[in-house]
Structure 1
Amino acid sequence: MSARRMLNGSAPGEALELLPMAAVHLMEIPGLTETARAIGTDRNIDYLVDREVAAMLHRHRRLLSRMNTYGVRGGLLFAPGAVGAWFLIDSAADRDSLDPVVVPIVLTPVALLLAVGVYLLIRAFWCRRAWIRGGTRDQVNGYLQILSEAGLPIRQLPPWLAPFTGMRWR
């Protein structure tokens, strides 16, 4: 079977490897089962089912990756486009002395940089909106609360699962 096989159509099979702590280990900790169910009820996820948590972590990791990729690329293209536009606006007084063929040749790369940069930044903000409004951020914060209650040290978490709760980690 392929490693990209789907788990109930929601995440690739390799998503189970994203779990820092399996549900079996969480259920062994006294009182944590009730806490996990209470937190999960508020966030519409059952934290004691590994496949649901793996799908949520996979979605979280994918959205963060897209946000960062689109944001960095968009910013790297927008910045030189903005500088180019600033120089073009500054030299607008000398436009009468320029050849009419030179103006579109100089203006086209600047316009393309600005357009592609803005498009990528809009995509980054769209991914952030999907991350927040889709409930992924709240579900990840709930999972981090459960891991904190379980006593998992923060240094054992992967960097993409850094706490966004603003609460103190155990």
Structure 2
Amino acid sequence: MKVQEIRKLIKLVDQSSIEEFVFETEGSKIEMKKNTGVTYSPAPQAVPAQEPVQAAAPAPVQAAPAVPAAEPAVQETAAPEAPQQAASNENLHKITSPMVGTFYQSPSPDADVYVKAGSKVSADTVVCIVEAMKLFNEIEAEVEGEIVEVLVKDGQLVEYGQPLFLVKPQ
């Protein structure tokens, strides 16, 4: 899990009325309690290749001096790309996630994807599924046009309002 994703989770929990939050994924566990901080403990089955990334991620979240140092690095990498993306995406419609959950491109692992770059969609075309709390929510295009780009990978955790697809409206 990336530092940015952890920060977003902290922000969402902080803004909500939730007192305690537990998140488990890929052999790691994050527990958050309001006014008590964040606790990280790797699961016994953790894959060694994942440990360095996950072990390094909580440090900026828990240690206040490390957070400002991490933010400029994120801004530096995102800033050069922003003008290019803004120019090319001006007339494109973004299909965004209506909730936090896991993005799936197909109804089942062995089925074809709902849409891919170049696919024509209508307003009621199902473009993906976002799974939240064991509920599989079909996401519709809500616009007629052509899929230009799929912005997230299958199985990726998505945030509320995160762009999933770019569509060239007709």
Structure showing the higher strand proportion among its residues: 2
Structure showing the higher helix proportion among its residues: 1
State which structure, 1 or 2, has the greater radius of gyration over its C-alpha atoms.
Answer: 1
Structure showing greater relative contact order (alpha-carbon pairs closer than 8 Å, 6 or more residues apart): 1
Judge same fold: TM > 0.5, yes or no: no
Q: Normalised by the shorter chain, which TM-score bucket?
A: under 0.3
